[in-house]
Amino acid sequence: MFYVVVAYLNSDSHLDVAVTTGDNIGPNSSSVAVLLGDGRGGFSAPTFTFPGLMMVLGPADTTET
């Protein structure tokens, strides 16, 4: 199963995307790919994080108001 989150992941006010990769079965089977929005409808090349962890993504508002 794949999970996708579209959110503001950094402070540049452009929407970004995070998606799990792989099938989440077995060791070293998945990671999170982060694609930063460029503000023109495109995204950066993916940066892969957390290799080998089983995970579910979900957005959260972590700003202090």
Amino acid type, 42: G
pLDDT digits (tens, 9 = 90+) for 7-63: 888 889 999 998 887 655 555 557 788 999 999 999 999 988 766 555 566 666 666
pLDDT digits (tens, 9 = 90+) for 31-41: 788 999 999 99
In angstroms, how far is CA 46 from the centroid of its own chain? 9
pTM equals 0.70
Residue 4: its H or E element: strand 4-7
